[in-house]
Amino acid sequence: MSHPTDTNPARPRIAVVFGGRSSEHGVSCLTAREVLAVIDKDKFDVQPIGITLTGSWVAETARWPELAPGTLPSVRDNLPAVSWESLREFDVVFPLLHGPWGEDGTIQGLFEMADVRYVGAGVLASSVGMDKPFTKTVFSAAGLPQLPYVTILPGQWDRDRTKVGARIKALRLPVFVKPARAGSSSGVTMVEHVDNLDMAIRTATKFDPKVIVEAAAHGKRELECGVMQQPDGTPIASVVGEIKVAPASEHEFYDFESKYLDGTSLNVVPADISETLSERIRTYAVQAFDAIGGEGLARVDFFDADDGLVINEINTMPGFTPFSMFPLLWEASGVPYAELVERLIQLALNRDTGLR
């Protein structure tokens, strides 16, 4: 298949896809609104495409009436339908999708089948980055330091609660119970008493039948680092930032509400840490990116705890909302928001389709 950019001197056509079926639908919409506002329309012919919560594809605008406090936008289902096959008409797809069915390799597989270029990680890297237990397996093989954890497979808690419970208790409370394949802290519960474990696991399984339980990082500071490829494919790391929950907040940790709804999380960029720790984090971030076979961009999250630095997770399509760390990290590294978006599009335009 020949792509329009191969022969057409006109503006490259960019499809910005957002929304989706996951619990992070609203976050994706916020991300799309911000990205669409900064894409240079003189350089690119941009088409927003929304995916509703039920999976319908529509010609969205990402322009919503003013939202009530504490609410997130959603893709509207009363708009003209769009066929996914129309993606072949575009030079690049920018999938601003978070969570399952968007950031986990599923839609990336669709792009590969359609032979269309797209921003971000490929099928395998997206899948590994979304599935926390598999991420940890890959990070372990790469020699990256991590916290102990227990994976609960679908139905395993009900089948063998005694055995699984003993493994969790060995982690020592408190622990964090999480859906294995969700983001934005959706369905995450901090468990300090064993009596609350069942409820926390039930909460996590509302988002994913597969659950991960992680040991808590005592005395932790939450530090994050952005990674972006250069035109030659070499990944580089941004400055390091720190996430803090405002002192007056009622949130015990950096959860979904503090991230997106009530603005009680604070992004400190650059983080007030030593140069030695900063360089170690930046080195680990690039190693993590390479370990999963990342492409385009990623945000890598760390805990600096009493027992030392550990890597938490990698996000292959980080948010670009007003509260999001990734664009702030790159702005502090000398790459303003609009330039960051354009660089990511250019990376996708310049890479091959098919096996890479």
Global pTM exceeds 0.95: no
Query: Is the predicted pLDDT of residue 251 greater than 60, yes or no?
Result: no
- Write down the mean pLDDT value for the chain: 91
Instruction: With CA atoms as reference, report the closest residue to 261 among 72, 96, 99.
Output: 72
List, in sequence order, every residue forming a beta bridge with 46; answer none if it has no partner. Answer: 14
pLDDT-based confidence at 247, cuts 50/70/90?
low
Strands 308-315, 297-305: pairing is antiparallel
Instruction: With CA atoms as reference, report the closest residue to 183 among 340, 36, 321.
Output: 321
pLDDT the model gives residue 252: 57
Question: Rounded mean pLDDT of 191-211?
Answer: 95
Annotated domain spans of the chain:
4-120, 130-145+218-349, 149-215
Question: Rounded mean pLDDT of 255-265?
Answer: 51
Domain 4-120 has CATH 3.40.50.20: yes
Reported as a single tens digit per residue, the pLDDT across 9-30 is 589 999 999 999 998 899 999 9
Percent of the chain with pLDDT over 70: 91
Question: Rounded mean pLDDT of 278-303?
Answer: 98
Strands 117-118, 92-96: pairing is parallel
Instruction: With CA atoms as reference, report the closest residue to 201 among 183, 216, 184, 179.
Output: 179
pLDDT-based confidence at 320, cuts 50/70/90?
confident
pLDDT the model gives residue 356: 80
- Nearest 5°: the CA angle 236, 241, 246 is 160
Long-range contact list for 66-72, CB < 8 A, 24+ apart?
A: 70/261, 70/262, 71/26, 71/261, 72/25, 72/26, 72/27, 72/29, 72/30, 72/260, 72/261
Question: Rounded mean pLDDT of 215-230?
Answer: 95
- 101 φψ region: left (φ > 0), alpha (ψ -120 to 50), beta (else): left
Secondary-structure class of domain 149-215 per CATH: alpha beta
pLDDT the model gives residue 263: 57
Question: Rounded mean pLDDT of 315-328?
Answer: 89
The answer to whether 130-145+218-349 and 149-215 have equal CATH topology is: no
Query: Is the predicted pLDDT of residue 201 greater than 70, yes or no?
Result: yes
Q: What is the 3-state secondary structure (H, E, C) of the chain?
A: CCCHHHHCCCCCEEEEEEECCCCCHHHHHHHHHHHHHHCCCCCCEEEEEEECCCCCEECCCCCCCCCCCCCCCCCCCCCCECCHHHHHHCCEEEEECCCCCCCCCHHHHHHHHHCCEECCCCHHHHHHHHCHHHHHHHHHHCCCCCCCEEEECCCHHHHCHHHHHHHHHCCCCCEEEEECCCCCCCCCEEECCHHHHHHHHHHHHCCCCCEEEEECCCCCEEEEEEEEECCCCCEEEEEEEEEEECCCCCCCCCCHHHHHHCCCEEEECCCCCCHHHHHHHHHHHHHHHHHHCCCCEEEEEEEEECCEEEEEEEECCCCCCCCCHHHHHHHHCCCCHHHHHHHHHHHHHHCCCCCC
Tokens coding 185: 């802290």
CA gap 310, 176 in Å, rounded = 15
List, in sequence order, every residue forming a beta bridge with 242; answer none if it has no partner. Answer: 223, 268
Secondary-structure class of domain 130-145+218-349 per CATH: alpha beta
pLDDT the model gives residue 7: 45
